[in-house]
Amino acid sequence: MTNLKPRIAWLWVAAGFFFQALPAALRDEALPVALKNASITDTRITQLTGFLGILVGIKIIWAPIIVRLGSPRRIVNTTQALIVASLGLLTLVAPQSFEQPYALVGILVALSFLSAGHDIALDGYYVASLHDTERSRLAGLLTAASKTGAVFAGPGLIWIAGWSAKSGNTPQHAWADALLVATLLSAASLMACSYALGREAAEDTLAPKPFVETLQKLFRDPRFPSVLLLILFYRTSEIHLGKILTLFAVAPTQTGGLGLNNQDYATLRIITAIGGLAVGGIIGSAIISRRGLTRSLVPMGICMHIPIIGIAWLATHTAQNQVVIGTLFFIEHVAYGAGVCALILAMMRLAAGPDAAVRYATLSTIGIGAVYLPGIWAGWLADKFGYANYFLLTLVLVPFGVWSAVRASRDLEEVTPSVKA
């Protein structure tokens, strides 16, 4: 692949990774609010989003199958076209889908499989077709495009639906309007990405590399059990909190929620969640760079869970202005962002070395499962005990997170080999 003159890589990177972020943000952020607007119970909402997330999260299992279906560019173009069609179908069925949810669930399941295939092909093509210097030069654009797509398909669609609802539309028709905008924008991204990929040089189908032996080595690594426990428990309280926090924010006050409308919540989400996670990541990196990873895991793990107390207080004192709500949400996301930074670096430390990509992808897959699996029961617990009691229940899991940090701090400690005279 030496003919680089006709390529416009920046365009397919920007359009492709913007597109990649749309299904994930739609599933994780917009869908729960849409279902809550339609008075669906928290139990059903978290179970559906958890199930859809797990379908995407286990993409490493069918990655060897995906790469055999054709060239990465062809897979990217095909899956993007089918995702646009799926969004169009969602737009059409949205006005009736909440009364007859089978069509909605079927389309969302298809969308999850398609987005997983798209992620595998696009990520693989980005790594395989660009040199190190090109990847470094385009990394900032990739991040910016991905974040922009997440903001649009998450808070953006929530805001559009809220604006449409204020015009007198039912929640179902309001979300149909939002999905129409998403369909049109994703179609524009598809055309831009397809045009840019058409300018690329010819490519070969990527053959899957055997990784069973790599997985066996990973599982036999003496540090693996500790990192596995860290992945499963370090942020489990925060994960359980996050499954319900959005639903709590938009739930009516008479049911124990904050009663925020879609537009207010969308604005709050951009400032507190996206901004807070970014600030938390910066703070976490700074702390770890000064203290070291193993000395930071335990104190950062403790600090990550303290803001849950503030959220539990808010659930018992819901009559607060948006400044108080936003401040508590922002602090919570900053603490979580710092904790996640520590977790990611711990995973990278275990994955480092030969076959790091496969090792880290495996750990990430386990991490995705740990994020989405609690959705199966989180909504049921919130419905049964109420928001305030649910948030207090999440604190019961804190000791497990701290224990996992203590163990990982011991087993991940870097030992300098002694030099024999």
pLDDT tens-digit readout, 399-413: 999 999 999 998 887
The Cα–Cα gap between 359 and 348 comes to 9
What tokens appear for 19 in the block?
A: 């597109």
HSE of 95, CA atoms in CB hemisphere, 13 A: 6
Same domain, yes or no, for 174 and 306? no
The Cα–Cα gap between 172 and 39 comes to 11
- Contact between 362 and 57 under an 8 Å Cβ cutoff? The reply is no
**Residue 5 belongs to a domain:** yes
Same domain, yes or no, for 201 and 218? no
Model confidence at 2, pLDDT cuts 50, 70, 90, reads very low
The Cα–Cα gap between 96 and 114 comes to 24
Q: Which of 107, 45, 66 is nearest to 382 (CA)?
A: 45
Same domain, yes or no, for 96 and 227? no
pLDDT tens-digit readout, 76-127: 999 999 999 999 999 988 887 666 677 888 899 999 888 888 887 887 777 6
Asked which of 168, 188, 208 is the last residue of a domain, the reply is 208
Same domain, yes or no, for 135 and 22? yes
Average pLDDT value for residue range 198-205: 68
Same domain, yes or no, for 374 and 225? yes
Q: What angle do CA 96, 149, 202 make, to 5 degrees?
A: 110
Same domain, yes or no, for 122 and 225? no
Model confidence at 224, pLDDT cuts 50, 70, 90, reads very high
The Cα–Cα gap between 310 and 332 comes to 8
HSE of 37, CA atoms in CB hemisphere, 13 A: 28
Q: Which of 240, 341, 245 is nearest to 284 (CA)?
A: 341
Report the largest interatomic distance among the alpha carbons of the chain, rounded to a whole angstrom. Answer: 82
Type and span of the H or E element at 421: none
Same domain, yes or no, for 282 and 397? yes
The Cα–Cα gap between 76 and 15 comes to 11
pLDDT at 332 over 80: yes
- Contact between 366 and 54 under an 8 Å Cβ cutoff? The reply is no
**Residue 156 belongs to a domain:** yes
Asked which of 185, 208, 231 is the last residue of a domain, the reply is 208
Cα-trace Rg, the chain: 22
Asked which of 165, 190, 208 is the last residue of a domain, the reply is 208
Same domain, yes or no, for 201 and 281? no
Domain containing residue 194: CATH number:
1.20.1250.20
What tokens appear for 386 in the block?
A: 């109420």
Same domain, yes or no, for 132 and 231? no
Same domain, yes or no, for 137 and 15? yes
Q: Which has more confidence, 319 or 239?
A: 239
pLDDT tens-digit readout, 244-281: 999 999 999 888 899 999 999 998 888 887 788 878 88
**Mean model confidence pLDDT for the chain:** 84
- Contact between 43 and 378 under an 8 Å Cβ cutoff? The reply is no
HSE of 111, CA atoms in CB hemisphere, 13 A: 30
Number of domains the chain contains: 2
What was the pLDDT predicted at 203?
58
The Cα–Cα gap between 304 and 302 comes to 5
**Residue 421 belongs to a domain:** no
**Residue 270 belongs to a domain:** yes
- Domain with 57 in it: 1-208
Q: At what angle do helices 9-25 and 101-129 cross, to 10 degrees?
A: 150
Q: Which of 416, 411, 417 is nearest to 297 (CA)?
A: 411
The Cα–Cα gap between 234 and 405 comes to 7
pTM, rounded to two decimals: 0.82
Same domain, yes or no, for 53 and 184? yes
